[in-house]
Structure 1
Amino acid sequence: MAIASIQRYYLVFHRTFFDKYIIFFHYVPLSFCVIYPIILYSFLVTKYSCITDFVYSSWTCGGACYLYEPVLGSIDWIFNGCVNVVLSILATSLIITRVLIQKCRATTQRSIWNRSRRIIIQLVALSTLYMLVWVPCVICFVITLFRSVPILSSLYSSYLSYYQYLSSLLCPFVCLAGLPEVRRALNNVKPLNKQIVHDIRQVAENIKNQHRNCLESDS
């Protein structure tokens, strides 16, 4: 998400520069996002010199053993978790701030907003979803890193650890909601006609009365 936010910043404000070096700004980061976690966690989970005792009744079977080492587990959380959240917040805030400043300037500057409105709205929506999911996890981790708080540890293991999956589940719906075609289709959906609603209620009432009459006749 951090790389996507940075890419959209260059795509909005430095489009020519971005297109000129698209391999460096687009394809290389995407390849890195795919290759880096595969190599890193394949090594840490399968090759790192520690013994993992899996607990099959726990979340993620108790986790890999490297997570329970203070130094390595903290480094993994800081660089692969906290840094991503911080960069996403900074990049998104920078885009919003710059758009608002330039929107208040000359009319020629407002063309940036008109041209890139879809990208900006989608970025803000995705970043908001990402931050709502991950910021509570990062806050719990940072607090427990410096001080033992059992209630936060219990909160993370019982709720926030599953809360992370919401970003993956809701991401497609957020992307669809950012498409103007989808918004127009939703706006064109008309509520049920009052007469149709009345007819449905009348049919339900008739069925209910018939059922009551059958019960009375049987008795």
Structure 2
Amino acid sequence: MRIVLHNLPLLFCLIYPMLFYFFAIVLYSCNGTQWDYTSNLCGFAHCYLLFDKVLGTFDWAFNNGLPMVVNALANLVLIVRVVRQKRRFQQSLTWRQQRRMTVQLLTISSLYIVAWTPCLIVALVQILGYPTFLAQIQTDFFLDLIYVVCLFLPWVYLSFLPPLTKWIKELFHYEQGCKLVSITRIIQFEARL
């Protein structure tokens, strides 16, 4: 049972993306029309995204959208499970104890959802039949919004480590104190002159 529930999903998550993108990018036949050298976005998308609606929709929905939805649902299910377990064991539900876990889960999930949802929705509409639907906004903003996750996730993680944040605050407070002392000494030195 451990192999089925633990090892196989991990193995699937390692092997599936390599196989899918090897076949979709390397082995997918291109006719060369995607290479418009006068465009700023020459070769911007892979052939299967431009010319195969079924494979492009599957890629955006299953490989990009589904992980986002599973992430959000798994976090909500975990929170509901904690609440139900507390009720089942007739323990008082104090949100003060559960608040940290809830805030962590919802913060990380909402960061992914805010960053990925606009790009996924616009890309699916474009693949399904309206290729110019918000194309300029998608190129200029939504595709860059995905990188917000990479930029803010370390800060989110750091904010949930109380000893580290306390140490950083003390460090900056100490350095500010040192700067004030050095400024005071400079002023005193100039006053002597």
What corresponds to 1:36 in structure 2?
A: 16
Distance in structure 2 (CA, Å) of the matches to 1:119 and 1:60: 45
Amino acid at match of 2:59: D
What TM-score results when the alignment is normalised by the length of structure 1?
A: 0.63
How many residue pairs end up in the alignment?
A: 184
CA-CA distance at 1:41 after TM superposition: 0.5
Residues 16-58 of structure 1: per-residue CA shift (max 9 Å, x gap):
xxxxx44333322222112111110011111112235456885
Contact 1:92 1:127 in 2 (8 A): yes
In structure 2, which of residues 166, 185, 191 is the aligned counterpart of residue 187 of structure 1? Answer: 166
Per the TM alignment, residue 67 of structure 1 is displaced from its structure 2 partner at its CA by 0.5
User: Structure 1 residue 193: deviation in Å?
Assistant: 7.9
One-letter identity of the residue aligned with 2:140: S
Is residue 80 of structure 2 the alignment partner of residue 97 of structure 1?
A: yes
Question: Is residue 2:25 matched to residue 1:50?
Answer: no
Structure number having the greater helix percentage: 1
Deviations 1:189-214 (A, max 9, x none): 322487644334346668999xxxxx
Partner Cα separation in structure 2 for residue 59 and residue 96 of structure 1: 43
Q: Tell me which amino acid in the other structure corresponds to 1:140.
A: V
Is contact 2:50–2:127 with CA below 8 Å preserved after alignment? no
Q: Secondary structure at the residue paired with 1:62? A: coil
* Structure having greater relative contact order (Cα 8 Å, sep ≥ 6): 1
Cα deviation for residue 164 of structure 1 reads: 1.7
**Aligned mates of 2:140, 2:113 — CA distance in 1:** 20
CA displacement, residues 99-137 of structure 1 (integer Å, 9 cap, x when unaligned): 3455466554759x96x8876654433322221211221
RMSD over equivalenced CA pairs, Å:
4.0
Q: Distance in 1 between matches of 2:88 and 2:128?
A: 46
Q: Secondary structure at the match of 2:134?
A: helix
CA gap of 1:138–1:196, structure 2 versus 1, over 3 A, is same
Q: Is the 8 A contact 2:56 2:127 kept in 1?
A: no
Q: How does 1:53-202 map to 2 (within 5 A)?
A: 53-54=34-35, 58=40, 61-69=43-51, 70-103=53-86, 107-108=90-91, 122-144=104-126, 148=130, 150=132, 152-178=134-160, 182-188=161-167, 189-190=169-170, 191-192=173-174, 196-202=178-184
Unaligned segments of structure 2, at least 5 residues? none
